[in-house]
Amino acid sequence: MMGHEINLLRSIPRTMRNIEARHEAKDPEVIRISKEYGEMYFDGPRDYGYGGYRYDGRWAPVARDIIAHFGLRPGDRVLDVGCAKGFLVKDLLDALPGLEVFGLDVSEYALMNSPPEVVGRLHLGSADHLPFPDAGFDCVISLDTIHNLPRPRAAIALKEIQRLSGGRAFVRVDSYRTPAQKAIFESWVLTAEFHDYPDGWLKLFEEAGYTGDYYWTIIE
């Protein structure tokens, strides 16, 4: 049974994006460097990605909403797939003492620049190969990560999340509801390998047997 569309990131402030400047700066070399997920992607110029990814507390209310939505309790195990520098992992730990929170990311740079509170909790790896046992977590989160894989690998990643969580999961992926939003997205995006309208994503969720909850990252 399919999960529910729910925005667990409604508390995150909207990011101001200079779409025209990004579009003009995009070229194959910029995209190649961005997809290395190194220093340039996280902390280099905005043309290459975040333009400086620093802890600012914005994930704290998201952490509280995730805990409430899934009814998490001390001792429960949570995995953040695509955790970047581990800011959400940190805020989940702070929001519920006793919660066992871990993260996984493909970026060695991000993990090496994580807060000291999460050292030992973050793993290097890819979303389509999660090195954990079946049903190993009470909840799995993956925000703005699955779309960075080609469609076949995105399906495997969703199967992996389902395997670990049994469907107690939440993913957010790049999407658009109108042709105009799709055009804006394609002008901005650097790293997404697969993206589609919500119906296309729902088809992929069904193919992968993913029954967790979900929402969309839409650039307007």
Bridge partners for 103 per DSSP: 80, 122
Residue 53 has a CB neighbour count (10 Å cut-off) of: 15
Question: Distance between CA atoms of 146 and 13, rounded to whole angstroms?
Answer: 22
For residue 190, what pLDDT is reported? 83
For residue 22, what pLDDT is reported? 45
Q: What is the separation, in whole angstroms, between the first and last Cα of the chain?
A: 31
For residue 14, what pLDDT is reported? 66
Question: Distance between CA atoms of 63 and 68, rounded to whole angstroms?
Answer: 9
Half-sphere exposure of 109 (CA within 13 A, CB side): 13
**Paired tokens of 184:** 């804006």
**Paired tokens of 52:** 């400086």
pTM metric for this prediction? 0.92
CB 44 within 8 A of CB 34: no
For residue 108, what pLDDT is reported? 97
Question: Regarding beta strands 213-217 and 100-105, do their DSSP bridges make them parallel or antiparallel, or are they unpaired?
Answer: unpaired
pLDDT tens-digit profile, the chain (220 residues): 779 999 999 988 765 555 555 445 557 888 888 888 889 988 998 888 888 899 999 999 999 999 999 999 999 999 999 999 999 999 999 999 999 999 999 999 999 999 999 999 999 999 999 999 999 999 999 999 999 999 999 999 999 999 999 999 999 999 999 999 998 888 878 888 999 999 999 999 999 999 999 999 998 7
Q: What is the three-class DSSP state of 65? A: helix
- 19-217: CATH topology is Rossmann fold (3.40.50)
